[in-house]
A and B are shown apart, each in its own frame.
Chain A
Amino acid sequence: MNCQNIQDELLLMAGTERLPDDVQRHLDTCPECRDYWLDLTTTTENLGSEEDFYLDKTELESSIARVEERIDRLELEKVTDVRSAWLSHVPAAAAVVLLLGISFMAYMLGWFSNGEDPSTAGSQDTVWLSLENGDIDAIEESSIDYVMYRSATMNQTTSGELFYENLTEEELQYLEENFDVGEIL
């Protein structure tokens, strides 16, 4: 390395404690570069050290305390955020529990028992009761239709026959006079 290169290197070394071996060897044999380095070292010594800018004890303690305070606040905010996140789910959870409760109560009260239309649920019973009591006038045509429909859909092949077999002669005669029984069966 020539002197210019060495002096460029020395600029980079200024302020550091130890020179690389090859640079040190060059300085041992080159008075110009040695003087250059001496000048640089004297200059940098005039700049003191890191410690000259350190805080005094009071400043240090108050700065540490302020950092602690800010970190405490941060940690507290984090805990509060977690709590808030949980609390925000409480209304939804309450709604689900309420719905489940209502569903259970409804089940227990039989609100969803068999899905049968309550307005026509008793039609079959009414027909039989009227037939048994001989009160044929009380049987409406729509009720007969309903009973036949129910029997046909619930017991695909046998319901009509069972219904027919259970009739008394009077009942059968009435039905034959007033309805097209053959078509129904």
Chain B
Amino acid sequence: MVRIDSERISSLLKQAREGNRQAFSEIVRIMMSPVVALTYKMTRDKDAALDLAQDTFVAAWENLRDFKSDAKFEAWLYRIATNRTLNYINRKKRRANDSSIAEYASNQNLEREFDQKELRKRVLDFTAQLPVQQRLAFELRFYKQLSFEEMAEVTGKAVGTVKTLYREAIKKLRQTAVKEGWNK
């Protein structure tokens, strides 16, 4: 798992909040890929994922003064990204008049988005089966390594709720692994 250097982020953040653009650019450089990974796995649309990630950083710059320095910056950033991504998915769903997340996801052209790495395809196929909130919980916990408290903060849900969402996602993961014969 990739560890983000939180101390470095904190130091850069302090300078960025004083208006230092260079420091903020450095934060963007460190956090861009983790944010895109989140938005991509949530949307399965690379162009949208990149746009949403860029929106996230612009919004972060605009609201940097609102960030409470005792909070975890990564969690705050993921919350912005999550809200924007969920809004995007909802808009897209409404437009497509399609209530099934799985069906919506299967409509995306994965071959165009990323290269055909088997592992990526497997992850995306699995996460596509999950309802959007479980998918988010899975992403935040499994890939971003957030604590349940941080997940609750990011999603605006109770700790118990995010635990249930994650537990259900892992149960489905096991079922998929058995069905697809991953562990053989």
Contact = CB atoms under 8 A, between A and B. Distances in A.
A49 B54 contact: no
A162 B28 CA distance: 96
B143 A50 contact: yes
B36 A70 contact: no
Interface string B101-135: 00000000000000001011011001000000000
A11 B168 CA distance: 8
Interface string A55-97: 1000110011011101100100000000000000000000000
A130 B53 CA distance: 99
A40 interface: yes
A16 interface: yes
B33 A60 contact: yes
A184 to B, nearest CB: 82
| Main SS class of interface, B | helix
15 contacts: A12-B166, A12-B170, A15-B143, A40-B170, A42-B182, A42-B183, A52-B120, A53-B33, A53-B41, A55-B32, A55-B33, A67-B57, A70-B54, A71-B24, A74-B58
B123 A48 contact: yes
A63 B34 contact: no
Given A46-B183, A49-B2, A67 B58 contact: yes
A49 B143 contact: yes
A47 B127 CA distance: 10
Nearest to B167: A11
Interface in B155-174: 163, 166-167, 170-171, 173-174
Given A46-B183, A55-B36, A64-B29, A12 B167 contact: yes
B58 A53 contact: no
Interface of B: 1-2, 21, 24-25, 28-29, 32-34, 36-37, 40-41, 50, 53-54, 57-58, 61-62, 117, 119-120, 122-123, 126, 141-145, 148, 163, 166-167, 170-171, 173-174, 177, 182-183
A119 B17 CA distance: 73
Contacts of B61: 71, 74
B25 A39 contact: no
A44 B173 contact: yes
B167 A8 contact: yes
A60 B167 contact: no
B174 A40 contact: yes
**What 5 pairs across the A-B complex have the smallest Cβ distances?**
A53-B37, A15-B142, A54-B33, A43-B177, A11-B167
A61 to B, nearest CB: 9
A60 B29 contact: yes
B53 A11 contact: no
